[in-house]
Amino acid sequence: MSEARRITKTTRLQGEVRVPGELRTAAQAFWLAAISIGDSRFEQVPTSAVTTLDILVDLGVGVASDNGTVTVSGVGLQGLQQPQQVIDLQLPAEAALPALAILSQQSFVSRVRIAPESRELALQLLALLARTGAVGVEESDCLLHLDGTESPGGATHEESDLPGPVKLGLLTAGLFAQTPTILREPTSSKDRVDVLLKTRGVDVEGSRQLDPTLRTITLTPGSPPQALDLDIAGDLTGALPFIVAAVAVRRSDVTIRHVVLRPENRAFVDIVRQIGAELEIIDNDSGSVDLALKGSGRMKSTRVADKRAENLLDHVALLAILATQTEGEFIIRDIESLREGEYDFIEHLAGLLRAVQAKVGEYSYGLVIDGGRPLKGARIETRGHPGLAQAFAVAGLLANGDMDIDDTECVEPVYPGFFDQLDALRSPKRKETT
């Protein structure tokens, strides 16, 4: 049975938000916890991390969940068991490569499936890990066969232009060696992958040698990483609906705590700031940021195209709702790929925008939205698309009349408790209904 929700207009949003943790950070931390000694406890674990936890259980690692806290009981460097099936490492490279390095240094054989976007880096890592005695080959497209190694050795890697995930993989493999692992990086590098291991008690140091442009990282093996409790920083994707809601509802004052902001994921945030919304980025000591947002009034339109549009394909519906609150023509183009698949997403989105009284032009390349016009509540057919459900939930906070959104249960696997958290920000309180 589908679940419909009714969202009504509010005059203000106020409070703090925590969003589910980032998969990349969570999976990376789980694998390092698995080869530690002792229990590591994690808060704000994303639902998408369950696959990684299941894999670790298959490898003999203890995993428990209690009231939202996940505990991983590490088995040390040599405590993993041979897996019974292909290991699914279809994760971002920053998490997949250290996991691949750990498996390459085991005495057992394993088969690993990686994501296509991580393939090139994974093969580069395996080629470099051959220096440690590890043997890994690509059995078929994105399916790797690791023979393992009985006596892993340290290695010196003179290459100074290695990508961050590859460097992290090499250092992680160095934990299993009998001799130090050494690698180079430019002093200008911002990866600092050694810090991730150093916080877990690993003996890893960086220094400058004769060449002032290079930094040498030396990992001296000796013991497994230490168990570490971690509050996983939030995935910025989960924060985006709250960002749009906070800057669009006037007099709002909302802070989104402890989220990950990187050059590769900040395109939406940059657009919000570009159009004149009040969004302050506050750095935290942990490397995460807080986002302080206020609904202060006028926002100007802009043009989103080319690479920037490509980076925002998953968030076009939310971007369109933001566009309705700006002044002038807001252009979203170069999103033709959204017309492919089960249905024409752009056509459907344009129809929904017209249903809520937005003025929108639909073209082969995308949408042109004439913002600054009042929205009106309507019945929204999401077709099971969580992005549409979230975007029009935000629109419901702005629209006159009731916004009735169908099939909202599609949001729960992506963001458990999303509607409750959005509703908790309303001031004065007026609960949405199911």
Q: What is the pLDDT of residues 73-122, one digit of tens each?
A: 999 999 999 998 999 999 999 999 999 999 999 999 999 999 999 999 99
The pLDDT value given to residue 429? 55
pLDDT, tens digit, 9 for 90 and up, residues 363-417: 999 999 999 999 999 999 999 999 999 999 999 999 999 999 999 999 999 999 9
At 150, the pLDDT band (50, 70, 90 cuts) reads: confident
At 1, the pLDDT band (50, 70, 90 cuts) reads: low
At 420, the pLDDT band (50, 70, 90 cuts) reads: very high
In a domain, 397, yes or no: yes
Query: Would you say how long the chain is, in residues?
Result: 434
- Distance in Å from the first CA to the final CA of the chain: 13
CATH, residue 123: 3.65.10.10
In a domain, 253, yes or no: yes
Pair (244, 207) in one structural domain:
no
Residue 421 has pLDDT above 80, yes or no: yes
What's the whole-number mean pLDDT along residues 299-323? 96
Mean pLDDT of the chain: 93
Q: pTM of the predicted model, to two decimals?
A: 0.91
Residue 339 has pLDDT above 90, yes or no: yes
The candidate with the shortest Cα–Cα distance to 91, out of 173, 146, 169, is 169
Distance CA 260, CA 225 (A): 24
Residue 27 has pLDDT above 80, yes or no: yes
Alpha-carbon separation of residue 60 from 53, 74, 76, 78, 173 (angstroms): 11, 9, 11, 11, 19
The pLDDT value given to residue 187? 87
In a domain, 35, yes or no: yes
Distance CA 291, CA 310 (A): 24
- Do 292 and 17 touch, CB atoms closer than 8 A? no
**Final residue of a structural domain among 175, 201, 226:** 226
| DSSP label of 298 | -
What's the whole-number mean pLDDT along residues 275-303? 92
Domain enclosing residue 65, as ranges: 23-226
The pLDDT value given to residue 188? 86
- Do 322 and 370 touch, CB atoms closer than 8 A? no
| DSSP label of 130 | G
Pair (360, 404) in one structural domain:
yes
Distance CA 173, CA 82 (A): 18
The tally of domains found in the chain comes to 2
Whether omega before 428 lies within 30 degrees of 0, making that bond cis, reads yes
The pLDDT value given to residue 82? 93
Percent of the chain with pLDDT over 70: 98
Residue 339 — left, alpha, or beta (φ > 0 → left; ψ -120 to 50 → alpha)?
Answer: alpha
Pair (171, 88) in one structural domain:
yes
At 226, the pLDDT band (50, 70, 90 cuts) reads: very high
Decide: helix, strand or coil at residue 394: helix
pLDDT, tens digit, 9 for 90 and up, residues 201-219: 999 998 887 778 899 999 9
In a domain, 434, yes or no: no
Pair (177, 269) in one structural domain:
no
**Final residue of a structural domain among 226, 259, 286:** 226
Pair (222, 279) in one structural domain:
no
Pair (149, 205) in one structural domain:
yes
| DSSP label of 315 | G
Pair (182, 316) in one structural domain:
no
In a domain, 274, yes or no: yes
**Final residue of a structural domain among 226, 244, 266:** 226
Alpha-carbon separation of residue 334 from 8, 138, 325, 338 (angstroms): 33, 35, 22, 10
Report which residue type is found at 40.
S
Pair (258, 351) in one structural domain:
yes
The pLDDT value given to residue 213? 86
In a domain, 432, yes or no: no
Asked which of 137-141, 147-151, 162-166, 402-406 is least confident by mean pLDDT, the reply is: 147-151
- Do 356 and 376 touch, CB atoms closer than 8 A? yes
Pair (255, 217) in one structural domain:
no
Scanning the structure block, which residue is given the tokens 């505990």?
A: 71
The pLDDT value given to residue 149? 85
Distance CA 180, CA 291 (A): 41
Output the six-digit token pair for 326.
């700006």
Residue 432 has pLDDT above 60, yes or no: no
In a domain, 431, yes or no: no
Pair (279, 340) in one structural domain:
yes
Pair (267, 410) in one structural domain:
yes
407: phi then psi, degrees, rounded to nearest 5: 55, 45
In a domain, 46, yes or no: yes
The pLDDT value given to residue 430? 52
| DSSP label of 433 | B
User: How many CB atoms lie under 10 A from the CB of residue 130?
Assistant: 13
The candidate with the shortest Cα–Cα distance to 127, out of 88, 90, 173, 195, is 173
The pLDDT value given to residue 401? 95
The pLDDT value given to residue 222? 87
Distance CA 8, CA 273 (A): 27
Pair (310, 362) in one structural domain:
yes
The pLDDT value given to residue 428? 57
